[in-house]
Structure 1
Amino acid sequence: MNSKPIKEKRDTLAIAKASGSIVQAMEKKGIFSNFHTNFEDLKVKSKQLQGYHQTEQSSIDYFDFMNNGFWISLADKDQNIVGIQAVRLDMLGRGSLADMWRIQQPRIYDGGEIGKNHAPIVFELTGNIAYQGDMWIHKNERDNNLATLFTQLCILQALLRFKDLDYLYGFMRVSLAKKGFPYKTGFTYCVPNAVDWITEPNGINRMDTLVGISEIDIYHLAEAINTYGPESEVYTQEK
């Protein structure tokens, strides 16, 4: 018996509308978004931007991005890049996220050893799973709700661009999780200590929190944005 519910055919117009609302909200702040699929360009940008570090998860040195990834840059009125996020789709089939990590992580990380005692959700996630990461916001733009809007835009665009998406996940610093950032952005899963690292690779913190959202919850997020606005207290303020 298939444990995953049969997907209903859903109208993506709500997703597109919510994305447009977020883009307009950012433009009112003087911030403009650009969509990219060429990860060679991201590698070039990573060497030019002070403060941004491209991770292995979005690197062409480890992944072949052919119709399974995109990245978004934000620019100010002077065309200076002030934000970056990247999304990659992994088609796992019946394999789980844990199965993928067992093979993938030793290949891309030096000096790390991954264990088997992950959080239960890591073994439950199968199908088409998107990874959202490489988030960077210029320090001068971190106090105007831009990070929340930017993250929501990436979530919505993942569903628009990957029609058969089942789930999207990423990792968040504990300090951000404690401040309610997963709630503000619409993530419906927040799992601390999700990854069993026996030895952490350089640049990885075992304390990072796994955050995620399912396909059906992305539609719910879009409906909330369309109903209350992209900067309403429903998703952007702590109660």
Structure 2
Amino acid sequence: MAIDLTGKIALVTGSNAGIGRAVAIALAAHGAKVGINCLSNTAQGEEVVETIRAAGGEAVLVQADVTDIAQIDRLLSEVEAAFGGTVDILVNNAGHLVQRVPNAEMTEDMYTRIMDVNFKSTVFMCKRVLPGMAAKGSGRIVNMTSVAAHNGGGPGSSIYAASKGAVMAYAKGLAKETAGSGITVNNVSPGFIGNTMFHATFTTDTARQATINGIPLQREGTPEDVAGAVLYLASDLASYLTGETIEVNGGMMMR
């Protein structure tokens, strides 16, 4: 069965680079009209839009901070206005480790920043799209969690790991709430994914090689590897899958 998202409106948060960029391009390549979102780097966001349009797709860029509820509403309203309808596919990709901080040094401000970008953003993005999806009797929500939700993450990332664990559990509860409305809610859980700012910022070359050596497939993942899983969950191929998490980690963590 071919994946055909023609006529669907998708929104991918944090899609100016890395995994979000790959997800947006994949959705557009299969027919979706895609809302691109960035926090600040609009030049990167415009590059994604132009890449999609050059391939014959439709895309629009909206700068917004998805930790701010008013900006979430504006983001959705602008995407809806641009494409003339409500969102069919939401990918909550925006997230960040923010900073490696041991618990003994954790501040309330840092705790809030980490939880807001990873968990609050997911909750309130979902809340905003649910009425439109329910009115249509269908919708696909894909949240981005992490292998850290299973193993607690690396040094100084326990709150990040907890925020991703919260995302994973939240999808199960939301999946139950929305199943009667034809909406599915699932997670994608990336492992060690290269070509992203996350590891460029927080992972040393030595740690990177050590991690790769422990991955059964003997390579780091790519943003496109993650995009493939998201594309599946956004399509009719996954119509009987909800409340689940797909692990994309090359075998480094098997359940």
> TM-score band, normalised by the shorter chain?
0.3 to 0.5
Instruction: Choose between structure 1 and 2: higher strand proportion.
Output: 1
Which structure has more relative contact order (CA 8 Å, sep 6+)? It is 1
TM norm structure 1: 0.36
TM norm structure 2: 0.35
